[in-house]
């Protein structure tokens, strides 16, 4: 059986293995987050969308093509018998002035729940705060533990998390059930699937190298004679989730081997 030193060595070894394979296969452990360097890029095309507050309250906006994905989310919800207010947009694109107002509104001790101006993924227009329920007496974006637990217990949230969000490759901020991001891979996959365009063009669009006026990709395809292709984005590679599975499997095998060697020592 292990002595104290052997146990400590095993824990240290597993930590090193997890760190190495996490870096190789998973990348940043906050892989669900849009990278900080992309949050300063002002979106080229932004659309007003149907939102939780309804008109004539302040509009809520999303950048293209995340606005299209949002509308498809509502269609998917409707097909499942889920209507307003579920999955309606609470907050989407925020400019620096809006983020500054939110930042100033929070006392210093509460600022752990909000990003400072210039660092919010909402600046990209590809992050959505969606209504996924709220416990009585709490706002739909309250991070109070009892409110978060209530949200996660809701049937509608479970349907969104397990059925709808994976369909589009949306990522959830683990501490905020209402916060969902569509990063570049998410948008690229959507464009390839929805419009049947080559991966190279989709990649150029999401990296802002190619601008689609007014988000009218159909007109762009016709004008430039883009050849449609039969894309199957699911076969393009492992993707984020696949990387997690592979990395986890390798970590498990290496950890077991370390355990066996040290136990026999």
Q: Give alpha helix (H) positions in the chain.
A: 4-21, 66-79, 96-105, 145-153, 155-159, 165-168, 184-195, 199-206, 217-224, 239-264
Residue 48 bridge partners (DSSP): 61
CB-based contacts of 67-72 (< 8 A; 24+ apart in sequence): 67/215, 68/190, 68/194, 68/215, 69/168, 69/170, 69/182, 69/186, 69/190, 70/128, 72/168
The CATH class of the 27-241 domain is alpha beta
Give the model confidence (pLDDT) of 7-24 as tens digits. 444 444 433 443 343 333
> Parallel, antiparallel, or unpaired: how do β-strands 179-181 and 127-130 relate?
antiparallel
Cα-based distances in Å from 189 to 17, 73, 169, 181, 244: 31, 16, 8, 14, 18
Q: Please give the span between the terminal C-alpha atoms of the chain, in angstroms, as a whole number.
A: 9
Does residue 232 register a pLDDT over 50? yes
Average pLDDT over residues 34-43: 89
- How many angstroms separate the CA atoms of 67 and 72, rounded? 9
Confidence of residue 241 (pLDDT cuts 50, 70, 90): very low
Give the model confidence (pLDDT) of 99-158 as tens digits. 999 888 877 656 667 888 988 999 999 999 999 999 999 999 999 999 999 999 999 999
Write the DSSP symbol of residue 108: G
User: What's the pLDDT at 231?
Assistant: 75
Average pLDDT over residues 42-47: 93
Confidence of residue 230 (pLDDT cuts 50, 70, 90): confident
């Amino acid at each position: 059986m292990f002595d104290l030193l052997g146990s400590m060595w095993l824990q240290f070894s597993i930590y090193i293995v997890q760190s190495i394979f996490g870096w190789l296969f998973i990348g940043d452990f906050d892989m669900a987050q849009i990278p900080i360097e992309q949050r300063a890029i002002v979106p080229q095309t932004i659309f007003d969308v149907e939102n939780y507050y309804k008109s004539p309250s302040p509009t809520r906006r999303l950048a293209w093509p995340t606005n299209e994905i949002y509308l498809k989310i509502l269609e998917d919800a409707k097909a499942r018998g889920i209507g307003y207010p579920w999955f309606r947009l609470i907050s989407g694109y925020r400019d620096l002035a809006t983020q500054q107002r939110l930042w100033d509104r929070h006392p210093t001790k509460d600022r752990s729940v909000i990003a400072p101006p210039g660092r919010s993924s909402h600046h990209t227009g590809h992050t959505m705060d969606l209504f996924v329920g709220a416990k009585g007496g709490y706002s739909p974006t309250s991070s109070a533990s009892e409110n978060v637990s209530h949200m996660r217990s809701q049937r509608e949230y479970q349907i969104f998390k397990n059925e709808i969000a994976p369909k589009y490759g949306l990522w959830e901020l683990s501490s905020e059930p209402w916060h969902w991001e569509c990063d570049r891979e998410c948008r690229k996959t959507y464009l390839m699937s929805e419009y049947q365009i080559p991966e190279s063009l989709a990649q150029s669009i999401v990296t802002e190298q190619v601008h689609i006026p007014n988000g009218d990709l159909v007109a762009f395809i016709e004008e430039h004679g883009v050849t449609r292709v039969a894309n199957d984005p699911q076969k393009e590679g492992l993707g984020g989730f696949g990387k997690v599975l592979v990395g986890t499997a390798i970590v498990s095998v290496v950890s077991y081997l370390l355990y066996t060697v040290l136990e026999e020592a």
